[in-house]
Amino acid sequence: MNNAQKKILVVDDDTTFLLMLKSFLEKKGYIAHTVSNAEKGLQAILSESFDLILSDYRMPGMDGMELLKTLDSKNINIPIILVTSYGDIKLAVKAIKLGAADYLTKPVNPDELIALVESVLKKPVKNPPPTTADQVRVHRGDNDEYILGVSDNTQKVNEHAELVGPTNMSVLLQGESGTGKEYVAQQIHNFSKRSKKAFVAIDCGSLSKELANSELFGHVKGSFTGAATDHTGQFELANGGTLFLDEIGNLGYDIQIKLLRAIQEKVIRPVGGKVDIPIDVRLISATNENLVDAISSGKFREDLYHRINEFKIEISPLRLRPEEIEQFAHFFLAKANSELEKDISGFTSDTLNFLKNYDWPGNLRELKNVVKRSVLLTKDSLITKTALPSEILNKQDSNALKSLQDSTDLKQLESILEKQKIMEAMEQAKYNKSKAAKLLNIDRKTLYNKIKIYGLEV
């Protein structure tokens, strides 16, 4: 396939840089589409197909890392190259671990850019980018897999889900990103009298103002530019069942007004439509922010808040229920074995210790990704610590350093510091051992020996 058939989306808030990249890429035979922020980029991705994304890391609003995470959460497998300043290299390496194809540092060298673009485009993409309709997950019945956590916090959540499930009360799920709010919503649906009907989940955080109106309430043909056919909204798709609105706090104020009307009057009107459509939907909402603060700042309607908050369930972050880490790790291991067609039997004891001592800022979603990555990297029957990302290994060393602050064991302190410096150099050198050795001012053989001693083989 030649360059003229390759379509690249460029996302950057620097208009001069956008024009420069567009001109340069088009001279090389690519089709270049440019947008000035990640929100517009996400809208473009949901409406048309691209072969590659070039995104700046630092932007107002949603940054490049958040764009990457959003694409990953939606299983949109378009390769993305992050463009960063030199000071953001450590973050760029972290982005690669989260799924970015590669990164470039500013100022961008044109020859390096084209070489990297060509290299990334040669790599096969597992699945084609999904359409907007693919972003909405519709489940029927109770066939989804769940795991009941053992902590008091989780057992309380399960009890509340079972208690409120059979009612028609609107439920608000409050918890950090990645804590499993959608799983709890599905659990409530399964306990409800609507369990044989549709469960429709939509991420409000990925919807622009224009897209939200159409996706939630639908539109009629010709109602706006690009509306070539009638479109059924998610309220209609969920009719008789449950509609789950994740990150509801991201909805614009005008959409909140229409949502309030839909809840109060049980009718919707598609964009461009002239007739109200009656709907019977049980609403479950979720947020990772404090909506009371959003009300105070004028970003969220108080009357809507009370409508969606007939029953609130607080979901604790994983760091507050450490007794579940091993349980969920084995659960995700089984799922990863199935998805990757592998047969890993478990974790070594020190690997489990690393998992248990990590704070998991990304909660269950991060744990799931770490386990899946570790399964992919593991060749033997057990997952060892060498398969874990450096941030988890570094956390263990950070804890060890704190415990040694009042110690006189200089030898142990020196070893921990040395290991940290080696890991930092490896990340900065993008795991090129020769470059890492130069950064550390040691020869390659010495570095290889230390990597082996500290169990840092990648």
- Bridging pattern class, strands 267-268 and 198-203: unpaired
Mean pLDDT within 141-158: 71
Decide which of 408 and 15 is more confident. 15
Q: Are 368 and 324 in contact (CB under 8 A)?
A: no
Mean pLDDT of the chain: 83
Decide which of 406 and 183 is more confident. 183
* CATH number corresponding to 3-131: 3.40.50.2300
What pLDDT was estimated at residue 426?
A: 76
What pLDDT was estimated at residue 308?
A: 96
**How far is residue 234's CA from residue 255's CA, in Å, rounded to a whole number?**
14
Residue 63 CA to chain centroid, in angstroms? 13
Q: Does 286 score more than 90 pLDDT?
A: yes
What pLDDT was estimated at residue 446?
A: 87
| H or E segment to which residue 31 belongs | strand 31-35
385-420 residues labelled b (16+ CB within 10 A) or e (exposed)? bbbbbbbbbbebbeeeeeeeeeeeeeeeeebbeebb
| H or E segment to which residue 233 belongs | none
Q: Residues spanned by CATH 1.10.8.60 within the chain?
A: 321-454
Mean pLDDT within 159-171: 95
Q: Residues spanned by CATH 3.40.50.2300 within the chain?
A: 3-131
Q: Residues spanned by CATH 3.40.50.300 within the chain?
A: 136-314
Q: Which range has the top average pLDDT, 20-34, 91-105, 207-221, 291-305?
A: 291-305
Residues in the chain: 458
What pLDDT was estimated at residue 411?
A: 66
DSSP state of 197: S
197-224 residues labelled b (16+ CB within 10 A) or e (exposed)? bbbbbbbbbbbeeeebbbbbbbbbeebe
Q: What DSSP letter does each residue of 122-166 carry, written as one string?
A: HSPPSSPPP-GGGGSEEEETT-S------SHHHHHHHHHHHHHTT
Decide which of 27 and 418 is more confident. 27
The answer to whether domain 321-454 has CATH 2.60.40.10 is no
Comparing CA positions, the residue from 158, 46, 65 lying closest to residue 103 is: 65
Decide which of 317 and 66 is more confident. 317
**How far is residue 52's CA from residue 116's CA, in Å, rounded to a whole number?**
11
**How far is residue 148's CA from residue 192's CA, in Å, rounded to a whole number?**
18
Q: Count how many Cα atoms sit within 13 Å of the Cα of residue 14 in the half-sphere of its side chain.
A: 13
For residue 304, name the pLDDT band (cuts at 50, 70, 90): very high
What pLDDT was estimated at residue 131?
A: 37
Which class does domain 136-314 fall in?
Answer: alpha beta
Q: Does 197 score more than 70 pLDDT?
A: yes
Mean pLDDT within 199-213: 83
pLDDT > 70: percent of the chain: 84
Contacts of 364 (CB under 8 A, 6+ apart): 178, 179, 180, 318, 328
Q: Does 111 score more than 50 pLDDT?
A: yes
For residue 130, name the pLDDT band (cuts at 50, 70, 90): very low
Q: Are 419 and 456 in contact (CB under 8 A)?
A: yes
What residue ranges in 145-233 does DSSP mark as E strands?
Answer: 171-174, 198-203
Q: Does 263 score more than 80 pLDDT?
A: yes
For residue 277, name the pLDDT band (cuts at 50, 70, 90): very high
Lowest mean pLDDT among 86-90, 188-192, 205-209, 396-400: 396-400
What pLDDT was estimated at residue 413?
A: 62
Q: What DSSP letter does each residue of 296-349 carry, written as one string?
A: HTTSS-HHHHHHH-SEEEE---GGG-GGGHHHHHHHHHHHHHHHHT----EE-H
Contacts of 373 (CB under 8 A, 6+ apart): 97, 387, 389
Decide which of 135 and 453 is more confident. 453
